Amino acid sequence: EKKRKSYQQKIDSNNLHSKAKKLLEVALEKKSNLIASADVLTTKELHDLAEKVGPNIVALKTHIDIITDFDYDKTIIPLIDIAAKHNFLLMEDRKFADIGNTQELQYSYGIYKISNWADLITSQVIGGFQSLDFFHNSGVIAILGMSSAGTLTDKNYRDEATKIAQSHPNVIGGVAQNELPEELLLFTPGINLDTKGDGKGQQYNTPEHVFRNLHTDFIIVGRGIYKAENPEQASLSYKIAGWDAYEASLG
Ligand code: 5BU
């Protein structure tokens, strides 16, 4: 079996994007590869969750456009402080999917001003190589394959999308359900310790499965944490499960 690279080996690689370096350093410092997905609907819930899970995560993933009472000063400014306090990155799961010019506008303008605060952003690569050129302030995580049943990200699509991700300097990794070339960090959502699906197409695997079989670098957990009775405790459980699975995958 092929050996995976450790986080330290990845930090030591050439031409590493500053946001990839930061993420890997936080992972080693906190012994965590956990990204919590904060799919909550209010600013208060977002901040409360960030405070509770902050010590256990490397990044907090947002869908900032689902926050019903969004206000840049009230939602984002305190979130930046919480992220600094607990030393985690902010990842906006925007899944850009347009031409470069439109993505440039969506990234920096409107009410969310994503380029001001997101260390990491997700983007489709469906618009081609140049569509990614304007994401200057964030590390781009390319959507290469999805976790949902019936996704159109078949092997041909994934292979072509992966070539774009590998060759674009703004891209630090990909979201996928398969192993990636080792210079791309692999982010895997669809992780849950208790259930196999959500009845809405989502398909879940365990941390153990994705570290062993896909050589995942970071697991993304939403409902397994924010819907738990005790999100703080749940984030600790996923942090430990993720770290143990990472260490086991080093062989
Ligand atoms: P869950 O509650 O753990 O199922 O949430 C998973 C999160 O990851 C959610 O925010 C999705 O939008 C996101 N996601 C995903 O689940 N699967 C994918 O393939 C991609 C993103 Br891309």
pLDDT digit string, tens, across residues 1-53: 568 999 999 999 989 999 999 999 999 999 999 999 999 999 999 999 999 99
Q: pLDDT tens digit string along 54-88?
A: 999 999 999 999 999 999 999 999 999 999 999 99
Establish whether 119 is a catalytic residue. Answer: no
Does any ligand 1 atom lie closer than 6 A to the CB of residue 174? no
Examine the pLDDT at 214 and tell me if it is beyond 90. yes
Average pLDDT, rounded, for the chain: 97
Residue 149 phi, psi (nearest 5): -60, 135
Q: pLDDT tens digit string along 217-238?
A: 999 999 999 999 999 999 999 9
Buried b (16+ CB within 10 A) or exposed e, 13-24: eeebbebbbbbb
Q: Determine the pLDDT at residue 251.
A: 86
Does any ligand 1 atom lie closer than 6 A to the CB of residue 146? yes
Nearest CA to ligand 1 atom 7: 222
Establish whether 93 is a catalytic residue. Answer: yes
Whole-angstrom CA distances from 98 to 121, 129, 165 are 14, 12, 16
Q: Where are the beta strands (DSSP E) in 144-242?
A: 171-175, 185-188, 218-221
Nearest CA to ligand 1 atom 22: 146
| DSSP H stretches of helix in 76-153 | 77-86, 100-108, 114-117
Q: Determine the pLDDT at residue 1.
A: 57
Residue tagged active-site, from 5, 21, 31, 95 = 95
Does any ligand 1 atom lie closer than 6 A to the CB of residue 190? yes
Nearest CA to ligand 1 atom 12: 93
**Other CB atoms within 10 A of residue 199 CB:** 6
Does any ligand 1 atom lie closer than 6 A to the CB of residue 139? no
Buried b (16+ CB within 10 A) or exposed e, 125-149: bebeeebbebbebbbbbbbbbbbee
Q: Determine the pLDDT at residue 133.
A: 98
| DSSP H stretches of helix in 61-153 | 77-86, 100-108, 114-117
Does any ligand 1 atom lie closer than 6 A to the CB of residue 143? yes
Look up residue 136 and give its amino acid: H
Please report, to the nearest 10 degrees, the dihedral formed by the alpha carbons of residues 150, 179, 10, 84 taken in order: 20
Q: Decide: 67 and 42 in contact? Cβ < 8 Å.
A: yes
Q: Which residues pair with 221 in a beta bridge?
A: 36
Q: Determine the pLDDT at residue 3.
A: 83
Q: pLDDT tens digit string along 175-212?
A: 999 999 999 999 999 999 999 999 999 999 999 999 99
Sign of CA pseudo-dihedral 111, 114, 117, 121: positive
Atom of ligand 1 nearest to the CA of 224: 3
Q: Determine the pLDDT at residue 175.
A: 98
- What six digits make up the tokens of 26? 């936080």
Mean pLDDT of 117-140: 98
Residue tagged active-site, from 48, 98, 198, 244 = 98
Establish whether 31 is a catalytic residue. Answer: no
- DSSP run (H or E) holding 140: strand 139-143
